[in-house]
Chains A and B, each alone.
Chain A
Amino acid sequence: MEVSNLTKKRIINYMKEGRRFDNRAMLDYRDISIELGVSKNAEGSARIKIGNTDVIAGVKLETGEPYTDHPDAGTLITTVEFLPMSSDRFEPGPPRIDAIETARIVDRGIRESGFIDFGKLCVKKGEKVWTIFLDIYSINDAGNLIDAACLAAVCALKDAVFPKYNEKEEVIEYGEWTTKKLPLTDSTPITMTFHKIDDTLLLDPIREEEDASEARLSIAVSGDKEIRINSIQKGEETALDKKEMFKIIDNAVVKFSKIKDLIEKSMSEKEKSDKRGRKPEKE
């Protein structure tokens, strides 16, 4: 917590009147913008802005040995880096616990929802499978990096295509791509992080609100007709009571369909106007 007591008091007073600094309703997100194919050399990439919060995610594919307990399943490795350029409170060096926790929240939402069909990422059972490297970077931290990272991750995966694979020599020909997309399912996971300040629940905090937050609950939801909750993480020191938990769960379901619609709409528009100009495959 780095916000001054004065600001915190002010935020709480605002909350009591049902107001926020930027006049949003408690459970409203700031404007979300989605940009795809932002880094040409990546297999897939996306840049998400939620208000002034700015995050880039990219996907690279490699082949490697499978885990011995899943000889025919591909693997996913998720990293999150909070770049020092994105805020004066981040310093260079190995990822700190906040970045590690965010990476794990992103990873679990994607994994547990069954968004990736890992079985289809097998090249040769027991010997070779595709590994998805999902790397996420913060560019500007204006609060709510967790939700932005999760959203960027999903969009980058949706954007990704396989690189060209030379079956004879069993190597990837980097810099050349196929048109084949990753094996993804319809259960797109959306992660929403609820915060509790005083007695108010809110979504998508700005930096000051995040600092004043007493407790947070990240909840990953997926599904089409049947809505499923795939992962939950409670953070910070204050405990939540059962009533609050139920309220969060109910609201997560409502918000989920709204955000999912937004993503799908924006994805289909973006895919139509994809001007990445990737090099075509060589015969």
Chain B
Amino acid sequence: MAYTKRIDGRKFDETREMKAEVGVIPNADGSAMFSFGDTVAIAAVYGPKPLHPQHLQNPQKGIVRCVYDMLSFSVTQRKKPGPSRRSQEISKVTEWALSPIIKIGEFPNTVVDVHIMITQANASTRCAGINAACIALAQAGISMSEMVSAVSIGKIDDRIVVDLIKEEEDYEEGEGATDIPMAFLSRSGKISLLQLDGKTSPEKLKEAIEAGEKACKMIHELQVSALKKINDKDKTGN
């Protein structure tokens, strides 16, 4: 049977309810929460600050360092605390997704630390993490050329759907499920993250990228409006 109706009743091009909040971690220079439905990510940014150990410093420019992880109880089957191969890979691709927008060339020998933690997981955690991190970077006042927004596009059987949930990822009928997380830069429209797990035709992949671009525009608007809220707060002094 073809995938004609989504498990949670959403339209094929509809994301789950999204929320964004700025300044959730008072100690950090910038912080934010971003959620797609039951997937909740928080991010904190510290820096730019001198990088230790010193041999990692780059005298030409500052660097971005990213750590993604999940709380042990954020998934149904407990995840052993501490970094895993999966979380290390996601940390790295998140770093690559964020790097093109961060302009810290004028801050040699420094580091901007981005910490992402998933507090509740139901698929698309890396995308929620990137969205939160981008807002946190903006709040921290890191100079950025544009913003980045990420979304997970799926191909369930032969249908392109936006923002997968766990049950869709596990869909096995027909052509099964293909998960394609991607990130778009807000101004240049460039792609800074693209991963794919599953199988798809070149045409469908192109369709997925188009769908991702559309969804990322909406996510970008939400990120901006969350940041504006805190700016308004600052103005009224609350």
Residues of A at under 8 Å CB distance from B?
A: 38-43, 45, 52, 54, 56, 58-60, 62, 79, 81, 83-88, 92, 94, 133, 135, 137, 139-142, 174-175
B76 lies within 8 A of A175 (CB): yes
- Please tell me which one of the listed residues A88, A137, A140, A175 contacts residue B46 in the complex, with CB atoms under 8 A apart: A88
Known pairs A41-B121, A62-B78, A135-B81; A85 contacts B44 (CB<8 A): yes
Residue of A nearest to B44 (CB): A85
Inter-chain contacts of A56 with B (CB < 8 A)? 71, 119
A-B contact pairs, 14 of them (CB 8 A): A39-B119, A40-B122, A41-B76, A43-B73, A58-B72, A60-B72, A60-B78, A83-B117, A84-B67, A84-B113, A86-B44, A88-B46, A133-B72, A175-B76
Main SS of chain B's interface residues? Answer: loop
Quick check: B73 and A86 within 8 Å, CB to CB?
Answer: no
> Does B200 make an interface contact (CB < 8 A)?
no
B77-101 near A? 1/0 per residue, CB < 8 Å: 1100111000000000000000000
Q: Smallest Cβ distance from A205 to chain B, in angstroms?
A: 16
B25 engages A85 (CB within 8 Å): yes
Q: Are B42 and A79 in contact (CB under 8 A)?
A: no
Given A39-B120, A135-B71, does the pair A94, B25 have CB atoms closer than 8 Å? no
Q: Tell whether, in the assembled complex, residue B81 and residue A41 are in contact, meaning their CB atoms are under 8 Å apart.
A: no
B9 at interface (Cβ–Cβ under 8 A)? no
Residues of chain B lying within 8 A (CB to CB) of residue A133:
72-73, 78
Asked whether, in the complex, the Cβ of B81 is within 8 Å of the Cβ of A140, the reply is no
Closest to A47 in B: B119
Binding site for A on B (CB under 8 A): 25-28, 31, 38, 40, 42-44, 46, 49, 67, 71-78, 81-83, 113, 115, 117, 119-122
Contacts A40-B38, A88-B46, A94-B82 given: A135-B27 contact, CB under 8 Å?
Answer: no
Interchain CB contact under 8 A, A39 and B27: no
Which chain B positions have C-beta within 8 A of A142? 26-27
Nearest 3 interchain pairs by C-beta: A58-B73, A85-B115, A42-B73
> Is B115 within 8 A of A83, CB to CB?
yes
Tell me, in angstroms, the Cα distance from A196 to B132 when the chains sit together.
40
Query: Given A39-B120, A133-B73, A135-B73, list of 4 further CB < 8 A pairs?
Result: A41-B73, A60-B73, A81-B81, A175-B76
Give the shortest distance, in Å, between A204 (CB) and chain B (any CB). 16
Q: Nearest Cβ in chain A — how far from B161, in angstroms?
A: 21
Q: How far is the CB of B28 from chain A (nearest CB, A)?
A: 7
Instruction: Check A174 against B77 for contact (C-beta < 8 Å).
Output: yes
Contact assessment for A42 and B25 in the assembled complex, using a CB-CB cutoff below 8 Å = no
Q: Would you give the shortest CB distance from B115 to chain A, in whole angstroms?
A: 4
A63 to B117, CA, bound (A): 27
CA distance A86 to B26 in the complex (A): 9
Closest to B114 in A: A85
Min distance, Cβ A31 to any Cβ of chain B, angstroms: 14
A residues near B115, Cβ cutoff 8 Å: 83-85
Report whether B74 and A140 are in contact in the complex, using a CB–CB cutoff of 8 Å.
Answer: no
Nearest CB of A to B119, in Å? 6
Instruction: Name the residue of chain A whose CB is nearest to the CB of B120.
Output: A39
Q: How far is the CA of A133 from the CA of B81 in the complex (A)?
A: 11
CA distance A142 to B122 in the complex (A): 30
Contacts of B78 in A (CB 8 A): 60, 62, 133, 135
A88 to B76, CA, bound (A): 30
Closest residue of chain B to A131 (Cβ to Cβ) is: B78
Contact (Cβ within 8 A) A141 B27: yes
Assess whether A41 is in contact with B42, with CB atoms less than 8 Å apart: no
Cα distance A174–B75 in the bound complex, in angstroms: 9
Question: Are B117 and A39 interface neighbours, CB within 8 A?
Answer: no
User: Contact check: which of B40, B71, B76, B120 meets A174 at CB < 8 Å?
Assistant: B76
A39 touches B26 (CB 8 A): no
A52–B27 Cα distance when bound, in Å, is 9
